[in-house]
Amino acid sequence: MNDKFMNTYKRTGLILEKGKGATLWDKNGKEYIDFTAGIGVNSLGHGNPALVKAIADQAANLIHCSNYFLTDISITLTEELCQAAGFDRAFFCNSGAEANEGLVKIARKYGSDKHPDKNKVLTLIGSFHGRTIAMVTATGQEKFHKFFGPFTPGFGYVPVGDIAALDKALDDRTCAFLFEPIQGEGGVLPLDAAYLRQAQKLCKERDILFAADEVQTGVGRTGALLACMKMGLEPNLVSLAKGLAGGVPIGAVLAKGACADTLQPGDHGTTFGGNPLAAAAAHVALGQICKPEFLAQVERKGEKIRKAIQSWKNPLVKQVRGMGLMIGAAVSIPPGDVVSACRERGLLVLTAGEDTVRLLPPLVIRDDEIDRGLAVLKSALDTLAAHG
């Protein structure tokens, strides 16, 4: 292992070389079925011809220009994303954490226009919102609140699903309630739609922005463009990233209604955000993902995977959760053991939370790739159960 990298990731030692669809090859030619999509990023799979061509063509024309200028591709992307998601305006950046930072800035300025102290952002216990100082503060998990203090003031946490606690916490100082429709890093834990609809109502009554972090759940991952659409929710603000440009770094904040006009020149910005290269990639990704038949196949494949795992009745699997192709299998052994056993057999999977194996395959994964991946997962779980 190269010790010149900072020691920030528990790396596997695997050196990947190329990919096609939902199949990856390492540098020794060993093949892997990819149930990770780069942590929910490679939505169109690896080596998607339309995506590769759009990136190459755009790179030949114009890779980057500053945000002081528009390009046809950035105009097209902004219009189609706002139209498809039902929002008034978009701000583009480079990552999920950066999208959430922008979202919080909009919420704080929106709040401060009403009252100088209306700046608190409420999040949920168990949430994950990113790695910047403000976003580790926003993240409602103690383990992220170590070492890096002092943390940013103005965040509070409420337990998931407890509407009375939320009702009490949404006070005059609160400018936004930020939630993940499915807590991803926390363990693939879908929130109750009825709870979120009540939360939305409370926020609306108190002029508090209802803000969805759809960095992981967004852009088709759950079988809808936004998980909020599936849950009958209409947030004022949404953050996106991961799958939006099929692997090219991008993030976005979408805003609707009055808060869409909150940011004015000089309030916020970023050098690379939504540059022509990223916009060209996102245009292709969105074009494919927004089609109803594409979203329907995400739903169908997710259902197929969840049903298969449940049908095995493996004693190690406690519960299978998720929506679309965002799937979590809670297990009674360390989930990392399952990840290692799968990797040895040629399947890449992820963990989430303390006890969950997480599956985030490319949204274009073929049925034969699903079948091969599931066969490996079953054999890994069977072997681990036999040795348990």
Ligand X SMILES: Cc1ncc(COP(=O)(O)O)c(C=O)c1O
Query: Contact residues for ligand X (CB under 6 A)?
Result: 95-97, 100, 128-130, 180, 184-185, 213, 215-216, 241
| Residue labelled with tokens 């890096």 | 148
CB of 8 to ligand X, least distance (A): 12
CB of 152 to ligand X, least distance (A): 16
CB of 101 to ligand X, least distance (A): 9
Nearer to ligand X, 241 or 357 (CB): 241
Residues 92, 101 contacting (CB under 8 angstroms): no
Return the DSSP state at 185: T
Which stretches of 139-235 are DSSP H helices?
163-169, 193-205, 227-230
List CB contacts of 71: < 8 A, sequence separation 6 or more: 62, 65, 276, 279
- The amino acid that residue 18 corresponds to is K
Residues 385, 314 contacting (CB under 8 angstroms): yes
CA distance 280 to 287: 11
Nearer to ligand X, 182 or 384 (CB): 182
Nearer to ligand X, 277 or 352 (CB): 352
Locate 90 and state its tokens.
């978009």
Nearer to ligand X, 21 or 218 (CB): 218
Nearer to ligand X, 185 or 369 (CB): 185
Which single residue brings its beta carbon nearest to ligand X?
96
CB of 329 to ligand X, least distance (A): 18
CA 366, 371, 373, 377 dihedral sign is positive
Strand ranges in 82-158 using DSSP code E only, listed in sequence order: 89-93, 120-124, 155-158
CB of 161 to ligand X, least distance (A): 18
207 closest CA partner among 82, 129, 102, 112: 112
CB of 219 to ligand X, least distance (A): 12
Q: What are phi and psi of 18, to 5 degrees?
A: -155, 165
Strand pairing partners for 23?
20, 33
Nearer to ligand X, 216 or 314 (CB): 216
CB of 129 to ligand X, least distance (A): 5
| Residue labelled with tokens 């926390």 | 186
Locate 251 and state its tokens.
């993030």
Nearer to ligand X, 110 or 144 (CB): 144
Nearer to ligand X, 138 or 255 (CB): 138
CB of 128 to ligand X, least distance (A): 5
Locate 171 and state its tokens.
């006070």
CA distance 137 to 39: 22
Residues 257, 236 contacting (CB under 8 angstroms): yes
Nearer to ligand X, 97 or 374 (CB): 97
Q: Is 102 helix (H, G, I), strand (E, B) or coil?
A: helix
Locate 32 and state its tokens.
């892997």
CB of 184 to ligand X, least distance (A): 4
